[in-house]
Amino acid sequence: MHRTSFINLPLHTGHPPAYLMRRMVKLSYAMAKVLVDAHGQQEFLHRLSDPLWFQAFGCVLGFDWHSSGVTTVVTGVLKQSLSPEIHGIAIAGGKGRKSTSAISDIPKFAEGFGLSSAKTDVLLYASKMSAKVDSAAVQDGYSLYHHAILFDEKGDWAVIQQGMNPENRMARRYHWVSDGLQKGGYLLSPHAGIICEQKTPRTLDMTAGDSQKSQKVSLDLARGDPNNLRSSIYRLSSESTLDRWLLESESGNNGIVRKNSIVAGYEMPRRLDWDLFKQIYDVQPKNYENLVSIKGVGAATVRALALVSELIYGTPASWTDPVKYSFAHGGKDGVPHPVARKVYDQSIKYLEDAIDGSELEREQRLEALKKLTKFSESLFPASSS
């Protein structure tokens, strides 16, 4: 029986030493050139949108494979090594304050590629919405602090962003790729992958298929009279109404009320911007994605609408964490497949070819191959079958 491996992303602080950074930049430049020349920019973006491939790539470059720091370091290294002129790929954004630089970086790089204003707007929207979804539509307890978008000369893109949970001291990485979006756009199972050690209970996932009806009711509520919505939220905020609903839903056959493990999940946001709801009413968004894209619509707004939808109108949202523990390849429909040894071996071979074909000294190539082997063995121990 095959034993599934887990990848932990503990929060680590500090910076890699200068000598290691220089080595990583040189190696990533050489490997990216081989991969782009052999397979094209779009395929390289696809690989980066695969959480396990990204992890393996970081390991090959020389970074601790299970650390949360691999996200910021690898994207930081790529920012130094990727050349729009050589690789045909640009990268914008980064960690902390640098994450917001994507707004100004994207038009600059897009102009260098000769992309139209329409394609530039698509890239800006992708950057904005991927961050909005992972901070507001997916409420899993991880606050985003890293956002990077990579795009090529045709306008294809991939987003890599990471959030931290201060309580469990763990990180979570979110991967997106442009042609992985379904017809439902940014609000229907849009991720190429999400990697983290554990699932979080009471996670509101408005991107899940099971949340589609809740999206519709939420949209109807937001487009309706703000005074009626305000009245509904006040009703839910009163202790008697919410407590009675929770008690009734958790009563056992013997009349004894079990401890409710999801009470916190149904906590109504304490503060809501009613001027914002008036603005939404005036705009009349045509669909749920338009609603979420409105400036000012964040986690509190999304949560309040979802709770009213469920507790008053009986239309539940999904409260299941969308994180995937470990997988290697997602299909074009955005749905990831479980890790298969045969499929992942192809990814390993892909990296091996990039190392072998890179213009590096023999010692550097051997060291990179050793690190790749170590990563593979960690993922698939010899005892598993």
Model confidence over 309-353: pLDDT tens digits?
Answer: 998 999 999 999 998 754 334 443 444 445 555 655 666 676 777
Contact (CB, 8 A) for 134 and 161: yes
Share of the chain above pLDDT 70, in %: 73
pLDDT of residue 262: 42
pLDDT of residue 6: 39
pLDDT of residue 162: 94
pLDDT of residue 347: 65
Q: Sheet holding 157-165: strands in order across?
A: 89-95, 143-152, 157-165, 170-177, 193-195
Share of the chain above pLDDT 90, in %: 49
pLDDT at 356 over 80: no
Q: Which of 116-130, 152-166, 334-348, 352-366 has the lowest mean pLDDT?
A: 334-348
- Counting Cα atoms < 13 Å in the Cβ hemisphere of 378 gives 17
pLDDT in tens, 1-43: 333 333 444 545 556 667 677 888 888 888 888 889 888 999 9
pLDDT averaged over the chain? Answer: 81
Q: Where are the domains of the chain?
A: 18-200+322-379, 209-311
Mean per-residue pLDDT for 364-374?
68
pLDDT at 248 over 60: no
- Counting Cα atoms < 13 Å in the Cβ hemisphere of 145 gives 16
pLDDT of residue 247: 47
pLDDT in tens, 53-96: 888 888 778 765 455 678 888 999 999 999 999 999 999 999 98
Q: Which of 190-204, 226-240, 268-282, 355-369 has the lowest mean pLDDT?
A: 355-369
Band of pLDDT at residue 378, cut at 50, 70 and 90: low
pLDDT of residue 236: 79
Tokens standing for 353?
């070819």
pTM of this prediction?
Answer: 0.81
- Residue from 91, 92, 49, 191 nearest 134 by CA: 191
pLDDT of residue 258: 37
pLDDT of residue 133: 98
Greatest mean pLDDT range, 35-49, 148-162, 228-242, 257-271: 148-162
pLDDT of residue 117: 98
